[in-house]
Each structure stands twice: as structure tokens, then as C-alpha cells.
Amino acid sequence: MNFKIRGVIIDLDGTLVDNRRAHAFAWKKALDHEGVRNTLDEIERCMGCDVNQVIVQLVGVEARSQRGQRLIKKKAEILETEFLGQIKPNPFSKNFLNRLKSEGLRFALMSSANPCELKLFLNLLDCSDLLENKKGVDLQSAWLSPVEGAIESLGMNPEEIILLGNTPYDIQAALAHGVQAIAFRSGGWSDQELSGALVVYEDISELLRKFDQSPFSGKAGREVSPIAA
């Protein structure tokens, strides 16, 4: 039995907003300041993880530890003072959101951004008219993962939702919650590393060009198979 797609979860970071390099550079400077010598490539491979995973992988301590909290604070300071101005929206993001809406699809955004960063990203996207929650997007939850929070906000069964992301972490999180995923190569990962996604596109512009053949299009039936148990 196939399921008809009604909703979309979109990872804001690196998908709608080009912030991957800015985050990586900020982490690099924060880690250097702490005396942790990771390469930029090693750091970029962690982009897409939640902050605890980033710190565990790069430093070997928990985010809630004293050192972890010090790193988080330093990285946020560096990002705000040195790199926020370099972050740009994907030029096709708003066209894509409008296309989803014209197809009758609802969407929820997810992000690991802090409130200050989130406000900036939403302003860059200039998409407040498309958001159901006019106050913004509730992306943080003490008891729900970003994917769980997005599913709850859509009020749909996981089988009726597709997640859009650009890292293997996005795909793994989606599949773990019964949600199919579509991936972009914009995160710097190979198609093999993005295995598990229904389709892999270069970026949003390619998905827009091929929209009528995508799982989002009414012309294509908007149906996907359930995830195998």
C-alpha cells in the first residue's frame, strides 16, 4: 500500500539557507581557541549533527560538560561577530516554498539554530507570509527531536510526510521516525553516503526543474511506498 504525501519537513540549515561553511568556520575558530586541532574537513563532516554529536565527535566530551558549554558559547560568539553576514538564502528557496504551497502541501521547518540565528535565517528567506505560525517556527523542544517536533506540528502520520535534507544524519533521523527522505548534494556528501533517500538532487534548483516528476507533484500522484520494517 502506498501513501499519499501531504506534508514536507525541510531542514533549514544548508538546504534553504547556505550556512554550512559559516558554521564550520565558527566551530574551527572556537576549537582552535580551546586548543582542539580539528581540520576544517573534519568539522564540515559533522555539520548536520546536533550540537551534542558535534562536540562528542570532535572533542570527545558531552555538550553539557563544562568544556562543551564553553565551546558552544564561544562558537556562538564567533558566528555572530564574524560570520553571520556571510550567510545567504538559497536563491530558489522562496520559489520552492511557493511551489509546495501551490501543490496543497504543508511544510514544517527544522533547525539546530539558536533563536538569534533562527530569526536571521527566517528574515533572509522572507517567507513569513508562507508560514502557518506567524510568530516563527518552534524548532526547539526539551522532549522531542527536531523530526518528532516537525511531525507533531504537521499533525500527520509519518507515512504522509517527506523530509528534505542534505546530510546522512537527516536521512537517518527521517527513516528512524518512519519518514521518507529526499536529499541534496549541497551538504558535500556523495550519493553513496546519502543512500536511503528516495531521490538525490544536486540542489533545490534541480528539484524545481524536475518538480513534475518528483514525489511532491500531483502529476506524479504524490505517492510513496512505506518504509520497510
Output the domain CATH number for residue 66. 1.10.150
Q: Which domain holds residue 179?
A: 3-18+88-224
pLDDT of 132: 61
pLDDT digits 0-9 by tens, 90-113: 899 999 999 999 999 999 988 877
Check whether residue 75 and residue 122 sit in a common domain: no
Check whether residue 13 and residue 27 sit in a common domain: no
Q: How far apart are CA 13 and CA 215, in angstroms?
A: 22
Grade residue 26 by pLDDT with cuts at 50, 70 and 90.
very high
pLDDT of 53: 87
Whether the pLDDT of residue 155 is over 80: the answer is yes
Check whether residue 34 and residue 108 sit in a common domain: no
Percent of the chain with pLDDT over 70: 91
Check whether residue 190 and residue 78 sit in a common domain: no
Check whether residue 65 and residue 158 sit in a common domain: no
Whether the pLDDT of residue 135 is over 70: the answer is no
The torsion angle over the Cα atoms of residues 64, 187, 196 and 140, rounded to 10 degrees, is 40
Whether the pLDDT of residue 10 is over 50: the answer is yes
* Residue recorded with cell 561553511: 21
pLDDT digits 0-9 by tens, 33-70: 999 999 999 999 888 888 888 999 999 999 899 999 99
pLDDT digits 0-9 by tens, 183-210: 999 888 999 999 999 999 999 999 999 9
pLDDT of 1: 63
Q: How far apart are CA 8 and CA 161, in angstroms?
A: 5
Whether the pLDDT of residue 115 is over 50: the answer is yes
Check whether residue 13 and residue 25 sit in a common domain: no
> Among the three residues 86, 108, 129, which one is the final residue of a domain in this structure?
86
Does the residue 62 lie in any domain? yes
Q: 173: closest CA among 48, 73, 58?
A: 48
pLDDT of 119: 78
When divided into structural domains, the chain yields a total of 2
Can you name the residues that pair with 9 across neighbouring β-strands? 108, 163
Mean pLDDT for all residues in the chain: 86
Q: 71: closest CA among 113, 19, 44, 33?
A: 33
pTM of structure: 0.85
- How many residues comprise the chain? 229
Check whether residue 38 and residue 144 sit in a common domain: no
Check whether residue 78 and residue 139 sit in a common domain: no
pLDDT of 144: 62
Q: String of b and e for 192-205 (b: at least 16 CB within 10 Å)? A: ebbebbebbbebbe
The torsion angle over the Cα atoms of residues 70, 169, 183 and 160, rounded to 10 degrees, is -110
Whether the pLDDT of residue 140 is over 70: the answer is no
